[in-house]
Amino acid sequence: MSQMPPSIPTPLRCVSLSSQRSSSHAHHVCLRTLAGAGRAPVRPGKVSRELNPEEQQELRRRINSRERKRMQDLNMAMDALREVMMPYSSPAAQHHPHHSRRLSKISTLILARNYILLLGSSLQEMRRLGVGLGGAAPRLLLAGNWPFLATPGQLLLTSDSLLTSGKNSLPPQPTEEPTLPQPQWATGGGPGTQLCSCGACKLPHIVHTSPGVRYPK
């Protein structure tokens, strides 16, 4: 996606690159605004270095380039994950992967998270049944009803919905069976929605999904 082209650094302001932890090697590179609105205050004890406009531009260019590269690497990793998760995003995507809309970043991450949870549940069931590698696959994997992605807000399934996502609901697990750590969901956000209580993702989600519009495949 070519959006804003890499631009030549424009308004260069005073940037404090000082370290909060140790002031011994702290530094302060002043990228004064080219408009010349005045010099930013230099912190006491900080080593300041004036850069001429060419140096300011070059520094800004390097910083921007690094950031661009960092984000591009991150997007490459996201694409790799998206490629793996795409077949599980929706039934239609499995049949017509080339016609499906690509997953958004947030959808990819949420789908991957739920897939991992589902695999964990399946592994747990295999252990419970004493199934080896050559044995029958757990019903969770055979059920075929994957937590298909409708919209990002609809994919954060509860552990219960994961365990009962198959056409044949699973019998309750023995109480003595150690359980995998599952996300703790706190109710909130109105009927049919729940909030994850963990600090990382307090996204509302809808347990009963309906076909999505934005990312149908």
Partner DNA sequence: TAGGCCATCTGGTCCT
Partner DNA sequence: AGGACCAGATGGCCTA
Q: Phi, psi at residue 11, to the nearest 5°?
A: -65, 110
* Residue (73 or 177) nearer to DNA, CB: 73
* Residue (21 or 208) nearer to DNA, CB: 21
CB of 134 to DNA, least distance (A): 40
Binding region for DNA (CB under 7 A): 1-7, 9-22, 25, 27, 31, 47, 49, 60, 62-68, 70-72, 75, 104-107, 151-152, 213-215
End-to-end C-alpha distance for the chain, whole angstroms: 20
CB of 116 to DNA, least distance (A): 19
* Residue (133 or 200) nearer to DNA, CB: 200
CB of 118 to DNA, least distance (A): 22
* Residue (67 or 160) nearer to DNA, CB: 67
CB of 184 to DNA, least distance (A): 21
